Each structure stands twice: as C-alpha cells, then as structure tokens.
Amino acid sequence: MSPATPIITLGEPLIELSEIDSTNMYAMEQIHAQKALSGSVYQTDFQTNGKGQHGRIWESYRGENLLCTYVLELNALKQGKNWVPSEQLGLSAAVALGAQAFFMEFAGEEAKIKKPNDIYWRDRKAGGILIENIVRGTDWTWTVIGIGLNINQTHFSNEAGNPVSLKQITGKDWDIKTMQKKLAEALSASLNLWLTEGELLTLQKMELQLIKIKSE
C-alpha cells in the first residue's frame, strides 16, 4: 500500500525524445543546466549510445522498447533532511522492487530481480537499471534512474546475452506509452514505501528476492 499522501510522484512531466545518445546523459545535462524538474521522465524511441552497467551498451530497436530516465531531487522530498550517499542502497533496492512489480504485473510471478539491478524472467534478462547520483560535498542532491525494459523486440544480436521481451513471454504487442505510465506508477509506489517504512525494510525485501532466485 502506498502512503495516503505520496511524497514522490514520478513520470510528470513526460519529456519525449525521438532519438538521443543516452537518456541518462541527457538527464544529467538537464540537471547541470538547472533545467530539470524533480519527478520528470525523459523517454526516447532510440538511443545511439544507451548506457548499461559497467559501461556496457544497451541494445534496443527503434520504438520497440521502454527506454527512459527519471530524475529526482532529494532535497525536494523532506524539508530539513540532508540526504547522504549511504542512503543510496535503499533507493536502489526500492527502484529494483518497483521495476520488478511492473514487469510481474504483465509477465507473472517468474519476473525476478538479479543482482545488482537487472530484471529477469526465469533465466533470461528482460531489462536493466542504471542509477547515477549527484553528490555535492557530503550531500546527495539528485538521483538519475535509467531503465531499459524489453517490451516488443523479438530479435536480438548474438552479443546480447540471453534476453527476453514481454512480447516473447506473452505473445502480445504492448503500447509503449501505456507501459511508461504503468512503470511510473509502480516506481512511485515503491519509492514512497521506501520513504515511509525505512531503508532497512526495503533492503530486507530486496535480499529476500535475491535469496529466492538462488534457491530456484
């Protein structure tokens, strides 16, 4: 259950970009230029230099998948609180749990989290999360949450590992704009729970998901 009065609402405004090098890089540029609004999401049909974990390239065909980055200003969440880098683990866990909840709604209970922030269906990768943070001194000021989820793509290169898309799982085509809205709702709910129930409980939930994967 989300809190009665949400502290975080992600996905508004939605900034749609036909083509961009990387939504994360674009979002960072907007923050540094003081043009970003907390809660915004930058979504694109195609990335020419999509970023994955550890410098990997994220492969995606034009217009077939959900490629987006959310930005959140930490100082806008709770007045009087200074956010510190050690709290990033809790947010990272909350984002992963929210992305899993989104994918599970359509793909079923076999949607899992694989450490650190990948979304899997059975033993196949359905998506990835890349979170980058801005820290000034000892204060954690902004977080940039990049998410790529395979939605309608059915052909992947040999270098892509073992991917899977929602269309391959369900046999259905999905509307990307609708998926964007659903993802924003799931992430907002999960992050609001992180803020209200505390970092420790969020990390414990994340650990339970990882233990479940190892036991299967």
pLDDT digits (tens, 9 = 90+) for 152-190: 999 887 665 789 999 999 999 999 999 999 999 999 999
pLDDT tens for each residue of 121-131: 999 999 999 99
pLDDT value at residue 201 = 67
Band of residue 54 on the pLDDT scale cut at 50, 70, 90: very low
What percent of the chain has pLDDT above 90?
A: 57
Residue range 61-80: mean pLDDT, rounded: 86
Band of residue 35 on the pLDDT scale cut at 50, 70, 90: very high
**pLDDT(208) > 90:** no
Residue 119: its H or E element: strand 118-121
Superfamily the domain 14-215 falls into: Bira Bifunctional Protein; Domain 2 (3.30.930.10)
Are residues 209 and 97 in contact, defined by beta-carbon separation less than 8 angstroms? yes
Long-range contacts from 172-180, C-beta under 8 angstroms, 24+ separation: 174/106, 176/63, 176/65, 176/66, 176/151, 176/152, 179/66, 179/149, 179/151, 180/11, 180/14, 180/41, 180/43, 180/66, 180/68
Q: What is the pTM of this model?
A: 0.87
pLDDT value at residue 2 = 46
Using alpha carbons, list the distances in angstroms from residue 161 to 36, 60, 124, 127, 182.
Answer: 34, 13, 9, 12, 27
Band of residue 151 on the pLDDT scale cut at 50, 70, 90: very high
pLDDT tens for each residue of 83-136: 888 888 889 989 999 999 999 999 999 999 987 789 999 999 999 999 999 998
Cα–Cα–Cα angle for 123, 162, 90, rounded to 5 degrees: 60
Return the SS3 of 144.
strand
